[in-house]
Amino acid sequence: MLQSNSRSLKKVRELLRLYQGGAVFTAFDTETTGLSANNDRLLEIGAVQFSKKGVLDTFNQLINPCCPLSPAAMAVNNITPQMVKDCPSEAQVLPGFLHFIGDSVLLAHNANFDLKFVNTALVRSGYQSLQNKTGDTVHLAKAAFPELPNHKLQTLAHHFGIHPGNAHRAQDDARVCMEVFLRCLQQV
């Protein structure tokens, strides 16, 4: 059961209402060349679009960041320069991502990080920042499962028996994010 005084309780109930009402959600994740949205670039965007009817569609695209990849980033996501050298740039990928998400409700695990990177890339490419409703599964999971030692995506996947696939790859992390979200809704 959700912690009763949690600020996230209201958000969970709002998202549950939208979900039960048939709203379309898009769980998404990014992989990046580093931790600074202003200095680093998108390397991969993965997304799973779903509603109460189930998975509707998926989006996954490696991105040529047009800059060197740091050893630290490669150690986390296992994306190499060879994998992205012939891939489209951020500016080429973003229109397809915008079309994919439409006006769906966005979900991400540690959403501020992913939204900051996507919004910075959008502005850099001449677009406006995202205006979609958003939910953060870190906050939702903290409210729904306060007893867990931490609320990292892989910890939650292990706790729920969700197969993580390739952890720290955008498509698999987006799928796990969706599944964590659905588990959080069951706690309302």
Catalytic residue, chosen from 109, 139, 151, 168, is 168
Token pair recorded at residue 56: 């509707």
Token pair recorded at residue 163: 């197969």
Does the active-site annotation cover 168?
Answer: yes
With vertex at residue 116, the alpha carbon angle to CA 14 and CA 140, rounded to the nearest 5 degrees, is: 30
Q: How many CB atoms lie within 10 A of CB 180?
A: 26
Q: How many residues does the chain have?
A: 188
Question: By the 8 A CB rule, do 125 and 97 touch?
Answer: no
Q: What distance in Å separates the CA atoms of residue 64 and residue 99, rounded to the nearest whole number?
A: 20
| Rg of the Cα atoms in the chain | 16
Token pair recorded at residue 182: 């659905």
Q: State the catalytic residues.
A: 168
